[in-house]
Amino acid sequence: MPINAEQVADAFDLGPVLEDRPLANGDRPAVTRVVSTTKGRWVVKHDSVADRPDLAEWQRTKAWTVHRLESAAAAAGIPMPHPVQPPEPSVGFWYAPPDASDLVRVTTWVEGRDLRDARVPDEELAPWLGGVLARIARLDVAVDQNADASPVHPLDEWRDWVREAEGTADPALGGAARAVLGVVEDSADLVADAYRNRPPLTMTHGDAARANILATPTGLVLIDWESATADVAWWDAVSNAVRLAAPDERSIAGGDPRIVRSLIGAYREHGGPAGPADATAFAGLLVGHLSFTAWCLWVALGHRDESAEQVAFCTRSLHDAAEHLPRILRELDDWARLLA
């Protein structure tokens, strides 16, 4: 049974609950709530975990990986919400009560608006983000250099999924899956070359998109650290630069080169570890898009126990990927020239 706001407040010693409301998440299903208590305002995130006792090894590893990076980032003064230490039993910053079906974590509330809504000049945002990404990459957090960062799904698996999509009653789903497969096939050599010569891994935030940057009265703040992962910091910085430069977050097409140069310049100035300034620098961007698209395809095909709302979101995302990924691949050489 899910844990409610009163139980969360009692477990984390937040004080009596005054208000409990969902936190809007754009066009995605909301999994986070804002809870006001007599001691303050808090962001409460729930994660429903099937078949708990008590979590798969990869889930526990992920939770502790995030815990290490968040703790180091907070101690280093990186602008972020501060996680609240959970009571026992816990996994990382997640409270894991044995009689509940979900995990819960709490962070302090930060008053502000994310950059899907707030307007921050690009000449301010790009160097700020480049500097923050560099600071994160330089944190003294242990990383397994043999970690399978951003796993690449084999072509044979993709072909099986596409055949399954083409066998459904929805021809548009099969067509979208086939278009994405073309990008997987066309990018295979570039991705393989990048991984053969992969720079060292560091810890990265993993999702420094506009939706996860708040404009506050005291400055910009990076939120939502649950995607933290071991990755190539250079690839992560390049991905964030072109995503920030793009007028549409679904594609890097038509982006502003000045933003890319500004973010990458600040990243280098703050000591961020760099790598080759060529198309292989975009391997992380490609694999990230394709990994997310693979998950969306699985959900659209019914291979995940997700809500109808989540299935609809993933189906839309798959069609977006079929439209935008081919163009992204065509433009990589043009973007690579901005990295030197």
pLDDT in tens, the chain (340 residues): 789 999 999 999 999 999 999 987 665 555 799 999 999 999 999 987 655 566 778 888 999 999 999 999 999 999 999 999 999 999 999 999 888 778 999 999 999 999 989 999 989 999 999 999 999 999 999 988 877 655 679 999 999 999 999 999 999 999 999 999 999 999 999 999 999 999 999 999 999 999 999 999 999 999 999 999 999 999 999 999 998 998 776 666 667 899 999 999 999 999 999 999 999 999 999 998 999 999 999 999 999 888 899 999 999 999 999 999 998 899 899 889 999 8
Fold agreement (5-109, 122-336): no
Q: Which residue, among 319, 315, 323, 320, has the nearest Cα to 298 in the 3D structure? A: 315
Could you state, in order of their start, the residue ranges of all structural domains in the chain? 5-109, 122-336
Distance (Å, rounded) from C-alpha 94 to C-alpha 88? Answer: 9
Q: Which residue, among 178, 207, 203, 214, has the nearest Cα to 285 in the 3D structure? A: 207
77 touches 57 (CB < 8 A): no
SS3 216: strand
The topology under which CATH files domain 5-109 is Phosphorylase Kinase; domain 1 (3.30.200)
Distance (Å, rounded) from C-alpha 212 to C-alpha 235? Answer: 19
**In CATH terms, is domain 122-336 a member of 3.90.1200.10?**
yes
CB environment 3-24: b (16+ within 10 A), e (fewer): bebebbbebbebeebeebeeee
Using CA atoms, how far residue 22 sits from 43, 146, 319, in Å, is 10, 39, 28
Residue-wise pLDDT tens digits, 262-285: 999 999 999 999 999 999 999 999
- Give a three-class secondary structure readout of 14-63: CCCEEEEEECCCCCCCCCEEEEEECCEEEEEEEEECCCCCCCCHHHHHHH
Q: Which residue has the tokens 């600071």?
A: 135
